[in-house]
Chains A and B, each alone.
Chain A
Amino acid sequence: MKRVVITGQGTINALGQSVPETLAAFREGRCGIGPLDIRDVDRLSIKIGGQVRGYEPESHFNRQQIALYDRFTQFTLLAAREALAQSGLDFCGELSLESGVALGTSGGGMNTLDENYRSVYEDGKNRVHPFVVPKLMNNAAASHVSMTFNLKGPSFTVATACSSSNHAMGQAFHMIRSGMTRVMVTGGSESMLCFGGIKAWEGLRVMSKDGCRPFSANRNGMVQGEGAAIFVFEDYEHARARGAEILAEVVGFAMTADASDIVMPSRQGAARAISGALRDARLTPEDVDYINAHGTGTAANDKTECAAVADVFGPHADKLMISSTKSMHGHLIGGTGAVELLACIMALKDGVVAPTIGYDEPDPECTLDVVPNHAREAKVDTVLSNAFAFGGLNAVLALRKA
């Protein structure tokens, strides 16, 4: 089995339009959630989100590209540019054939759908732009990454709601570990902050009107975010041979299905995914220093997640750190695990654990060390990243210091 390492990372999200900006926000415990600036926001009851601000597509892409790239694809390509530049890889010849793309998204081209439904239903138009389909399809971002960077190996998109990115990165990990591919460009993207996207979520009544406060007794729901994070996963021997900087090593992955409820999470399903990732990585519970929580800020998730962590880690649950960075960037749904992996790598590489901000009141059902409100310096050798999706599909990654 091959060892798998990370040699590049890139992002755009509510906290910043690059990895350094995002990590600075994690260190400062800065909140990227604010009033939504979208069309018809006055008809929404949820008016906040982790929106990417000050973003001008025209300063990154030409007119023909913008005609083909939905916002989720644009975010993906910008994050991929940053990640690939850091990796120093150039895909030609054999390497191009042995390298692929595995990305997560839940909604795909949601803004494209929203705009074009509006056009035909509300404005009564009978003609839409010819590129609506290639722009909105869930695999558009993965395809454009493969085309832009000449990646000709296995490439696909995973859609498992809030676990999409973790499932995608888990597949990328497996493919390199088994020797199927040498390099995988992986991560995820989401751009659901449009009228239809928010309106649909309002219906479930799990959204907060005033902020995301995971694990805090006064939490009242989740807040959506948008953006992307992309990583370069690479065969360790390949990375070492070319003298690449290694950011972290991916050591384990597990996925489980609750097989119980379409929206309510399961303690057993989550616990099985966490313990499965430990087993896959040949780690003991005591090895884990930090967990990037799913931590949505809903009562259902936070209580279930804390209980699952307590089940798996026993007494060590009180010694490890667990934080939810969704409190800062919001819930990026299909892109969330990717942005959260940035915090995992920061903990391993820089020894700084990103906080759970907005933490006001202890909750007796969530008594773990959630790194409240302020980032913390700590020696971190091993981390987990949790994702538990609607539909009961769970995916947990394990990473180790390079």
Chain B
Amino acid sequence: MSDSVRDKVIAIIAEQAVLEVSDVKMESTLEELGIDSLGLVESIFAIEEAFDIQVPFNANDPSESDFDISSVAAIVTAVEQLVADQRG
């Protein structure tokens, strides 16, 4: 389960960053991967569609949102938690 969440999130981020999946490291930040604010909103949309979840994210102040986007690993962890919470 958690491997598949990780793989799917990485695939989404890689597509957004126009990178190979192998170039997206767990410790990478979105900034390092070249994903700007619009790319971030698109990535979150893709994550919501892929996992059928609602991501609590406000683009006004991403650091204040409940959803941690500080690194790829943080996003994977947050998505795993949301999948567990929202799928019951």
| Chain A residues within CB distance 8 Å of chain B | 45, 203-206, 219-221, 262-264, 298-300
Within 8 A of A (CB), among B19-46: 37-38, 41, 44-45
Which listed residue (A219, A263, A298) contacts B38, Cβ 8 A? A263
Whether the pair B41, A204 counts as a contact (CB closer than 8 A) is: yes
Whether the pair A263, B61 counts as a contact (CB closer than 8 A) is: no
- In the complex formed, the residue of A with least CB distance to B37 is A264
Q: Is B60 an interface residue (CB 8 A)?
A: yes
Q: Could you say which residues of chain A place their CB within 8 Å of the CB of B37?
A: 263-264
Whether the pair A204, B59 counts as a contact (CB closer than 8 A) is: yes
Whether the pair A205, B44 counts as a contact (CB closer than 8 A) is: yes
**Residue picked from B54, B57, B59, most chain A C-beta under 10 Å:** B59
Q: How far is the CB of A115 from chain B (nearest CB, A)?
A: 26
Q: Is B2 an interface residue (CB 8 A)?
A: no
Q: Is B58 an interface residue (CB 8 A)?
A: yes
Whether the pair A205, B58 counts as a contact (CB closer than 8 A) is: yes
Q: Could you say which residues of chain A place their CB within 8 Å of the CB of B44?
A: 205
CA A220 to CA B64, docked complex, whole Å? 10
Whether the pair A220, B61 counts as a contact (CB closer than 8 A) is: yes
Task: Determine the interface band of chain B, counting residues with CB < 8 A from chain A.
Answer: 10 to 19
The A interface, classified by DSSP as helix, strand, loop or mixed, is loop
- In the complex formed, the residue of A with least CB distance to B54 is A45
Whether the pair B60, A221 counts as a contact (CB closer than 8 A) is: yes
Q: Could you say which residues of chain A place their CB within 8 Å of the CB of B59?
A: 204-206
Decide: A262 near B45, CB < 8 A? Known: A220-B60, A299-B61. no
Q: Could you say which residues of chain A place their CB within 8 Å of the CB of B58?
A: 205-206, 220-221
Q: How far is the CB of A201 from chain B (nearest CB, A)?
A: 11
Q: How far is the CB of B28 from chain A (nearest CB, A)?
A: 22
Which listed residue (B41, B54, B57, B60) contacts A299, Cβ 8 A? B60
Within 8 A of A (CB), among B45-59: 45, 54, 57-59
Task: Using A204-B41, A205-B57, A299-B61 as known contacts, list a sample of 14 further A-B pairs with CB atoms less than 8 Å apart, ordered by residue number in A.
Answer: A45-B54, A203-B41, A204-B59, A205-B58, A219-B60, A220-B58, A220-B60, A220-B61, A220-B64, A221-B58, A221-B60, A263-B37, A264-B37, A299-B60
CA A299 to CA B37, docked complex, whole Å? 13
CA A206 to CA B54, docked complex, whole Å? 16
CA A221 to CA B57, docked complex, whole Å? 12
CA A220 to CA B38, docked complex, whole Å? 18
Q: Could you say which residues of chain B place their CB within 8 Å of the CB of A300?
A: 60
CA A263 to CA B58, docked complex, whole Å? 15
CA A263 to CA B37, docked complex, whole Å? 9
CA A264 to CA B37, docked complex, whole Å? 9
- In the complex formed, the residue of A with least CB distance to B61 is A299
- In the complex formed, the residue of B with least CB distance to A219 is B60
CA A300 to CA B59, docked complex, whole Å? 9
Whether the pair B60, A262 counts as a contact (CB closer than 8 A) is: no
Q: How far is the CB of B82 from chain A (nearest CB, A)?
A: 15
| 5 residue pairs, one from A and one from B, having the closest CB atoms | A205-B59, A299-B60, A221-B60, A298-B60, A299-B61
Q: How far is the CB of A302 from chain B (nearest CB, A)?
A: 9
Q: Could you say which residues of chain A place their CB within 8 Å of the CB of B45?
A: 203
**Residue picked from B44, B58, B60, B64, most chain A C-beta under 10 Å:** B60
CA A206 to CA B62, docked complex, whole Å? 11
Q: How far is the CB of A40 from chain B (nearest CB, A)?
A: 17
- 6 A-B pairs (CB sep. < 8 Å): A203-B41, A203-B45, A205-B60, A220-B60, A263-B37, A299-B61
Q: How far is the CB of A210 from chain B (nearest CB, A)?
A: 11
Q: Could you say which residues of chain A place their CB within 8 Å of the CB of B41?
A: 203-205
Whether the pair A262, B61 counts as a contact (CB closer than 8 A) is: no
CA A219 to CA B64, docked complex, whole Å? 11
